[in-house]
Amino acid sequence: MRAALKNDRELSSRFITSSAGISAYPGDHASRHSMDVMLSEWKIDISSHAACPLNEKEVSDAFLILTMTRHQKEYITSEYPEAKVKTYTLKEFARDRQVGNYYSQDYSSIPDITDPYGKPLHIYSRCAGEIKEAVDKLVDIIKKS
C-alpha cells in the first residue's frame, strides 16, 4: 500500500500507512521468501521491515484498519470493539466500495488473502499478487472518492 501511494503525490500527502501484526514479535524481519518476491516481482525492498505488534494507540489513531484475513479482523474487533466500524479485510473493503464490477463473483466470495507463511516461494508470489490486485483496486476507489 505504501508503495502504491508513493507513486501518487496527492494520495501520498493525504494518507499515512503503517503495518502491525496480531501475533508479531517486535523486531522480526520479513521472511526470506517475502523479501525475494517483493524485490524480484515488484521492485520493493522490504529488507528493513521490522514487525511490531498492534496496540491500543494504533487502533485508536487509525482511520481505517485493513487485515489480510477474516480471522485477523475478528480478533481485532473482539480485542478492540471500538474498531469494528473501521476494520475490514483488504478484499472486503475494496469489494464493498467498488465502483463498477471490479471483482468477479469468484474473487469477491473469498475475502481472505492467502497466508504464505512456511510455504514454498510460488505461494508467496501468489499472495503478493493477491495483495497487489486488491491494493490497486483500493487505490482506484480512493482516487474516485
Q: Concatenate the DSSP letters of all residues of the chain into one string.
A: -HHHHHT-HHHHHH------BSSPPTTPBPPHHHHHHHHHHH----TT-B--B--HHHHHH-S-EEESSHHHHHHHHHH-GGGGGGEEEHHHHHHHT-SS--S-HHHHT--PPP--TTS-HHHHHHHHHHHHHHHHHHHHHHHH-
- pLDDT at position 98, please? 58
d(CA 18, CA 16): 7
Q: Quick count: other Cβ atoms within 10 Å of Cβ 61? A: 10
pTM for this predicted structure: 0.84
pLDDT above 90: residue 114: no
30: domain range?
Answer: 2-144
- pLDDT at position 55, please? 95
pLDDT above 50: residue 26: yes
- pLDDT at position 110, please? 61
d(CA 58, CA 79): 13
Burial class (CB in 10 A: 0-12, 13-18, 19+), 95: buried
How many folded domains does the chain comprise?
1
Region 22-44: mean pLDDT is: 93
What average pLDDT does the structure give for the chain? 87
- Contact, 137 vs 124, CB < 8 A? no
Region 110-133: mean pLDDT is: 90
pLDDT digits over 60-109, tens only?
A: 999 999 999 999 999 999 999 999 999 999 988 887 665 444 444 444 46
Which CATH number belongs to the domain containing residue 37 in this structure?
3.40.50.2300
- pLDDT at position 97, please? 65
